């Protein structure tokens, strides 16, 4: 690849290089990455790297590459309900909308059809890695894993464990703890088996994940058994929900009176580890934050869902100041869009609202720092931070920071080609007058970098999937607008 590359470096910084060259090997790994390679120097560099005849993707004016988005929390079966339910709060919403809808995945034909369009859409929206909750159904969740595998997305896929009948009218639950556990184990083998074919170009991208839905949907026996499985199997990640809504937090305290806190419930059963992804974390007490840090568990921040379901605003800045791993999640259908761009926008607004309301929202009595460069608490999130959370932060939360989340030698090439041009190929509405003129009149590197920074900001705040031309996972071209043009013309 040759052209403009934007790469997250830390929570506060990213690099912008208008003339980068990236070498990708046949297995989809980045084997070299050079910044500042002018077009005329490209072939000399390629020869030096030992790949003089490699196929080159030349990015056009108006295109740049960023790492793919990592959606650290999404419910695949809930996509058909997206955009409804915002009148409820969590527990009523689960009962009235979610549980009746998820029951439909008993029907495997329905599952196949729905999951095919869900995965097609998440990839085209730029999600190169996703942490999927399935329904409680074994067969439907096998289908989900197979569909993700066949589309070539990187993902964790888990079947919900929910053997606790929380309400006498509830019909969507599992009446046997043993069956649920056996199916969980069988699903783990099935998903690992998907990757056994060495000729498969999408090898090893889908991994199993333990998915106790949340403390209120599991018996203590279930939580204990899952904690035991996690302890014996080092590769297994764990995903669940934590402190999303105050009604839920109160109920957890009622059901688990012997535990110090909601977070302590998971910790007690061995489910709070460095492989754990905790969705929401809106209403935590101070000692719960300390415990999450101590165990090095990660938080999936889902602001779109937290607004839509009237849950609250998570104090992300506090978590970042504490050094806790944080990623972003759509939490469809608590959240109402599949695109991580929508989550970035809501994370941006959420942090601004939190900062503006600091006197009432600041539950941890943290004053805004004199120098915002030193602190995240009670501050808006910068574009650099939003980029980091949507990519590297997600990778850390998934315990895949060594493999994805940014561009570096030996990492996998999971990337988006972002395109700011309109259908006619013009930069059009994305060009501010000064950017446009400088862009076309001379080749000032500093000006080009500034323009790319503006394009990243505009992509985040007013872009959508029309601006995602190509999506790559492990070096494979798997989605985006051009993918569909390409396939239409081949057919």
> Binding to Fe ion (CB under 5 A): which residues in 274-293?
279
Q: In the bound complex, what is the minimum distance in angstroms from residue 98's beta carbon to ligand GUN?
A: 5
Residue 195 tokens, joined: 């990757």
Query: 152-186 burial, b for 16+ CB within 10 Å, e for fewer?
Result: bbbbbbbbbbbbbebeeeeebbbeebeebbebbee
Among 321, 331, 362, 435, binds Fe ion (CB under 5 A): 331
Query: Considering CB distances under 5 to 8 angstroms, the limit depending on partner class, which of Fe ion, ligand GUN, none binds residue 244?
Result: ligand GUN
Cβ-based neighbours of 395, under 8 Å, separated by 6 or more: 70, 129, 327, 401, 403, 404, 405, 406
Cis status of the peptide bond prior to 333, with omega within 30 of 0: yes
At 417 the three-state DSSP class reads strand
Query: Considering CB distances under 5 to 8 angstroms, the limit depending on partner class, which of Fe ion, ligand GUN, none binds residue 214?
Result: ligand GUN
Q: In the bound complex, what is the minimum distance in angstroms from residue 78's beta carbon to Fe ion?
A: 8
Q: Report how far apart, in Å, the C-alpha atoms of 320 and of each of 8, 214, 293 are.
A: 16, 24, 10
> Binding to Fe ion (CB under 5 A): which residues in 26-55?
none
Task: Name the residue nearer to ligand GUN (CB basis): 214 or 354.
Answer: 214
Query: Considering CB distances under 5 to 8 angstroms, the limit depending on partner class, which of ligand GUN, Fe ion, none binds residue 98?
Result: ligand GUN
Q: How far apart, in whole angstroms, are the C-alpha atoms of residue 70 and residue 298?
A: 13
Q: In the bound complex, what is the minimum distance in angstroms from residue 367's beta carbon to Fe ion?
A: 32
Q: In the bound complex, what is the minimum distance in angstroms from residue 217's beta carbon to ligand GUN?
A: 6
Task: Name the residue nearer to Fe ion (CB basis): 331 or 419.
Answer: 331
Decide: is 264 part of the binding site for Fe ion (CB under 5 A): no
Are 298 and 396 in contact, with CB atoms under 8 Å apart?
Answer: yes
Task: Name the residue nearer to ligand GUN (CB basis): 336 or 388.
Answer: 336
Task: Name the residue nearer to ligand GUN (CB basis): 329 or 463.
Answer: 329
Contacts with ligand GUN by CB under 6 A lie at 75, 90, 94, 98, 213-214, 241, 244, 305, 331, 334
Closest CA to 335 of 350, 351, 354: 350
Q: In the bound complex, what is the minimum distance in angstroms from residue 295's beta carbon to ligand GUN?
A: 21
C-alpha torsion sign, points 17, 486, 391, 22: negative
Residue 95 tokens, joined: 């009962």
Q: In the bound complex, what is the minimum distance in angstroms from residue 242's beta carbon to Fe ion?
A: 10
Position of minimal CB gap to ligand GUN: 334
Using alpha carbons only, give the angle 430, 432, 438 rounded to the nearest 5 degrees: 115
- Binding span for Fe ion by CB under 5 A among 204-212, 249-257, 315-323, 327-335: 327-335
Tokens 């959606």 belong to residue? 71
Could you list the residues that contact Fe ion (CB under 5 A)? 279, 331
């Amino acid at each position: 690849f040759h052209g403009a590359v934007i790469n997250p470096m830390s929570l506060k910084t990213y690099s912008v290089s208008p003339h980068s060259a990236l070498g990708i090997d046949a297995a989809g790994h980045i084997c070299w990455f050079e910044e500042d390679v002018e077009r005329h120097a490209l072939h000399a560099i390629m020869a030096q790297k030992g790949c003089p005849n490699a196929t080159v993707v030349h990015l056009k004016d108006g295109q740049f590459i960023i790492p793919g988005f990592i959606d650290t929390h999404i419910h695949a079966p809930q996509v058909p309900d997206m955009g409804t339910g915002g009148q409820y709060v969590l527990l009523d919403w689960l009962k009235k909308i979610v549980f009746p809808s998820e029951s439909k995945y008993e029907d495997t034909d329905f599952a196949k059809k729905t999951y095919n369009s869900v995965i097609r859409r998440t990839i085209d929206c730029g999600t190169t890695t996703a942490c999927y909750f399935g329904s409680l159904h074994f067969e439907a969740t096998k289908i989900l894993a197979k569909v993700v595998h066949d589309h070539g997305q990187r993902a964790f896929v888990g079947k919900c464990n929910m053997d606790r009948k929380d309400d006498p009218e509830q019909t969507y639950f599992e009446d046997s703890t043993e069956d649920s556990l056996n199916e969980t184990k069988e699903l783990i083998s099935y998903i690992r088996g998907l990757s056994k074919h060495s000729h498969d170009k999408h090898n090893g991208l889908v991994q199993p994940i333990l998915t106790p839905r949340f403390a209120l949907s599991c018996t203590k026996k279930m939580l204990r058994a899952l904690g035991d499985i996690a302890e014996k199997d080092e590769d297994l990640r764990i995903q669940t929900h934590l402190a999303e809504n105050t009604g839920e937090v109160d109920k957890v305290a009622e059901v688990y009176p012997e535990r110090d806190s909601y977070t302590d419930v998971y910790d007690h059963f061995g489910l709070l580890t460095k492989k754990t992804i905790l969705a929401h974390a809106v209403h935590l007490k101070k000692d719960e934050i300390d415990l999450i840090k101590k165990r090095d568990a990660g938080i999936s921040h889902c602001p779109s869902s937290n607004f839509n379901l009237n849950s609250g605003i998570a104090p992300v800045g506090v978590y970042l100041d504490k050094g806790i791993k944080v990623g972003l999640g759509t939490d469809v259908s608590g959240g109402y869009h599949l695109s991580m761009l929508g989550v970035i926008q809501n994370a941006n607004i959420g942090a601004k609202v939190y900062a503006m309301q600091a006197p009432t929202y600041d539950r941890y009595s943290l004053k805004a720092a004199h120098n915002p460069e030193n602190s995240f608490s009670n501050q808006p999130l910068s574009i650099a931070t939003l980029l980091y959370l949507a990519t590297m932060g997600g990778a850390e939360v998934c315990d895949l920071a060594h493999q994805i989340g940014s561009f570096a030698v030996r990492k996998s090439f999971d990337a988006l080609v972002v395109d700011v041009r309109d259908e006619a190929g013009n930069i059009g509405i994305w060009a501010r007058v000064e950017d446009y003129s400088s862009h076309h009149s001379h080749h000032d590197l500093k000006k080009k970098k500034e323009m790319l920074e503006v394009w990243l900001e505009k992509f985040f705040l007013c872009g959508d999937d029309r601006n995602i031309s190509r999506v790559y996972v492990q070096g494979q071209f798997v989605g985006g607008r051009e993918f569909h043009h390409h396939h239409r013309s081949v057919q």
